[in-house]
């Protein structure tokens, strides 16, 4: 056998000159153990970090999609006639998905449209304004998430532009 | 015999390699987390960016409501004047987001609504903004449909009829022409007590009260031309007693010294020198008493002029090439208005009496325009005539006075609120 040997005998053997054998052999084991521990911690942190990162990105993407849904809902209001808004013809509940381009929809968003009176502070025109709040909630990574967005709609506002002949 | 020598470098290699590996992995993780953090921040910014648009539009919507409700008082309902941009401003929070909207313009003209929405996000400045601008036609604040006053006190030889300055069928080059006059002038009072038509009053049109009766002397006649030429009294169907009218008090659109407001100065129209030349925009004057060039004013382009002091004018000449308009706000307590109005038709000249302007007298001459003075005592006498429309607190006339209502000033030619353009800046 040509491979080198690690001797456990502390005494010097004939023909072998190795004055630091004892220290070198022991340090090697400790070294390996410390290295193993460090590597273990590093890999654990790496896995945890990547997992956290992936979850953060996934949640961010879901939030962006939620935001798109909210903006879409609020911008759609601009083409409604005042009667539709004032008489609550807007669908109060809706469902949307993370992806609508394939059969796998991904996360499901449950939304609500809430039309309330303008939070007036004494303005004489408060009866010509409505506050509309769109809210979506979804379940992801073991948690419920919610986002909402509000805007105002005026009886004399942009709808008169979009509905003008 | 083989001698195996463990060198010092071999001794520490496992630990070093492990630590280097750990370091590399840590760096990779750090970089990844940093990228993730950056990505997350961009997403938050994107969310704030998206949120800012509906918020900015909310500001536009509130401005629309303000313009349509307070057609003559853009300062009402807690709006403030922004002296830097010369605009009416409102700032409002909707949750953690907010908007700041400016109205820059005036009633019966064109205005810009500029709304900046601020969406909240977690990055540096905490808010990210987007701006939307609308150019709108603002509604004409009032449509006086005749001579409307809470108290009507008509004496002497009063005559009323109507015309239409928009067409030569019922006017001559926009001016009243007796040969083309029509018979639907309105003399109305929303007061419940009614009023009387004294002297030899002739109303070619209608009379109306808020509940009382319209009475007249023996020579009074009210009705269409066919009636008034042959009969006395009030023609059937030409008197109503359910008349209502509600006119808001006048609010000055601005005060002195505000940014964007100019002082009136002397000038010419290229031919004639004038004491005051209005070249368009907003003007302010403490008085109009200059007599250097004969107490004359020239309106070159659409202008708004606020005068707090006395007024002494012999003429106001309108640019005949562009139909320039003048909105004149008067605040002096007592004014004797005798200016001749040249080249103008009634819709081009609106005279607003601020609440401090309590009395106005029109002695002789021919006033062409709209007088809007819901709290003022308006006295017309000495053979005066008014072409246009009148809203006054009290209207009194004696001697000879002719009122020619211009259909172009009333609701038959409304200028409703209208959005002309919409853009994100």
Tell me which chain B residue has its CA closest to the CA of residue A58.
B40
Whether residue A47 is contained in a domain is answered as: yes
Whether residue A10 is contained in a domain is answered as: no
Every domain of chain B and the residues it spans: 17-140+418-424, 147-409
Whether residue A6 is contained in a domain is answered as: no
- Show which of residues 3-22 on chain A sit within 8 Å of chain B, judged by CB atoms: 4-5, 15-18, 20-21
- Which among A35, A125, A151 has CB closest to B65? A125
pLDDT tens for residues B128-180? 999 998 888 887 766 677 899 999 988 888 899 999 998 999 999 899 999 99
The tens place of each residue's pLDDT in chain B, 425 residues long, gives 555 555 554 555 777 888 888 888 888 888 988 888 888 888 888 888 999 999 999 999 999 998 888 877 787 888 887 666 567 889 999 888 999 999 887 666 678 889 999 998 876 678 999 999 888 888 776 667 789 999 998 888 889 999 999 899 999 989 999 999 999 899 999 888 888 887 788 999 999 998 878 887 778 899 999 999 988 889 988 988 888 877 767 777 777 766 677 889 899 888 899 999 999 888 899 999 988 888 999 999 988 899 999 999 999 999 988 889 898 999 999 988 888 888 889 989 989 898 889 999 887 788 999 998 888 999 987 778 899 999 999 999 887 889 999 988 875 445 677 888 888 88
ipTM reported for the complex, 2 dp:
0.77
- Min Cα–Cα distance to chain A from B18, Å: 5
Contacts of B21 in chain A (CB under 8 A): 39, 42
Q: Hey, are the CB atoms on A129 and B62 less than 8 Å from each other?
A: yes
Query: A162 and chain B: CB distance < 8 Å anywhere?
Result: no
- Show which of residues 118-147 on chain A sit within 8 Å of chain B, judged by CB atoms: 121-125, 128-129, 131, 147
Neighbours of B262 (CB within 10 A): 15
Q: Hey, are the CB atoms on B65 and A157 less than 8 Å from each other?
A: yes
Contacts of B417 in chain A (CB under 8 A): 156, 160
Tell me which chain A residue has its CA closest to the CA of residue B132.
A158
Tell me which chain B residue has its CA closest to the CA of residue A148.
B51
pLDDT tens for residues A33-72? 888 888 888 888 888 888 888 888 888 889 889 998 999 8
Domains in chain A: how many in total? 1
Domain range enclosing A118: 21-162
Whether residue A95 is contained in a domain is answered as: yes
Mutation target among B52, B56, B58 for the A interface, most CBs of A within 10 A: B58
Q: Hey, are the CB atoms on A122 and B22 less than 8 Å from each other?
A: no
Whether residue A8 is contained in a domain is answered as: no
């Amino acid at each position: 056998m040509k491979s080198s040997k690690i001797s456990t005998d502390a005494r010097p053997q004939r023909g072998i000159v190795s004055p630091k054998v004892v220290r070198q052999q022991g340090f090697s084991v400790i070294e390996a153990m410390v290295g193993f521990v460090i590597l273990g911690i590093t890999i654990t942190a790496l896995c945890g970090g990547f997992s956290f990162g992936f979850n953060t990105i996934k949640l961010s993407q879901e939030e962006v999609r939620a935001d798109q849904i909210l903006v879409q809902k609020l911008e759609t209001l601009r083409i409604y006639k005042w009667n539709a808004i004032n008489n609550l013809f807007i669908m109060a509940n809706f469902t949307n998905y993370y992806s609508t381009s394939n059969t796998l929809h991904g996360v499901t968003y449950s939304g609500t449209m809430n039309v309330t009176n303008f939070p007036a502070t004494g303005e004489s025109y408060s009866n010509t304004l409505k506050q509309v709040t769109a809210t979506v909630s979804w379940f992801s990574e073991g948690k419920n998430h919610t986002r909402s967005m509000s805007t105002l709609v005026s009886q004399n506002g942009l709808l008169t532009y979009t509905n003008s002949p | 015999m083989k001698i195996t020598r463990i060198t010092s470098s071999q001794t520490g290699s496992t630990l070093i390699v492990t630590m280097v590996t750990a370091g590399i992995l840590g760096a990779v993780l750090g970089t990844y987390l940093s990228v993730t953090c950056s990505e997350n921040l961009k997403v938050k910014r994107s969310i704030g960016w998206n949120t800012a648009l509906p918020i900015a539009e909310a500001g536009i919507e509130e401005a629309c409501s303000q313009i349509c409700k307070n057609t003559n008082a853009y300062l009402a309902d807690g709006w403030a004047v922004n002296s830097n941009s010369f605009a009416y401003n409102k700032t409002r929070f909707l949750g953690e987001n907010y908007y700041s909207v400016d109205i820059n313009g005036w009633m019966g003209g064109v205005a810009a609504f500029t709304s900046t929405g601020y969406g909240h996000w977690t990055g540096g400045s905490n808010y990210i903004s987007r701006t939307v601008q609308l150019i709108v036609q603002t509604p004409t604040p009032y449509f006086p449909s005749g001579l409307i006053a809470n108290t009507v006190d008509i004496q002497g030889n009063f005559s009323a009829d109507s015309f239409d300055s928009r067409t030569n069928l019922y006017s001559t080059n926009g001016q009243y022409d007796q040969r083309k006059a029509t018979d639907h002038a309105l003399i109305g009072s929303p007061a419940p007590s009614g009023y009387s038509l004294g002297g030899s009053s002739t109303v070619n049109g209608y009379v109306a009260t808020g509940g009382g009766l319209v009475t007249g002397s023996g020579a009074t006649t009210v009705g269409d031309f066919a009636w008034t030429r042959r009969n006395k009294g009030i023609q059937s169907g030409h008197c109503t007693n359910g008349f209502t009218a509600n006119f808001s008090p006048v609010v000055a659109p601005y005060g002195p010294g505000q940014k964007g407001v100019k002082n009136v100065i002397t000038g010419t129209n290229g031919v004639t020198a004038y004491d005051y030349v209005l070249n368009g925009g907003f003007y302010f004057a403490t008085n109009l008493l200059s007599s250097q060039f004969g107490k004359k004013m020239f309106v070159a382009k659409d202008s708004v002029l606020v005068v707090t002091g006395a007024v002494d004018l012999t003429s106001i000449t309108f640019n005949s090439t562009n139909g320039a308009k003048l909105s004149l706000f008067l605040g002096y307590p007592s004014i004797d208005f005798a200016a001749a109005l040249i080249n103008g038709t009634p819709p081009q000249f609106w005279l607003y009496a601020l609440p401090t302007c309590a009395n106005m007298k029109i002695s002789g001459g021919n006033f062409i325009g709209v007088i809007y003075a819901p709290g003022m005592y308006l006295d017309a006498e000495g053979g005066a005539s008014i072409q246009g429309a009148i809203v006054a607190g009290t209207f009194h006339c004696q001697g000879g006075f002719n009122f020619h209502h211009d259909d172009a000033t009333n609701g038959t030619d409304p200028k409703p609120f209208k959005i002309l353009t919409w853009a994100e800046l």
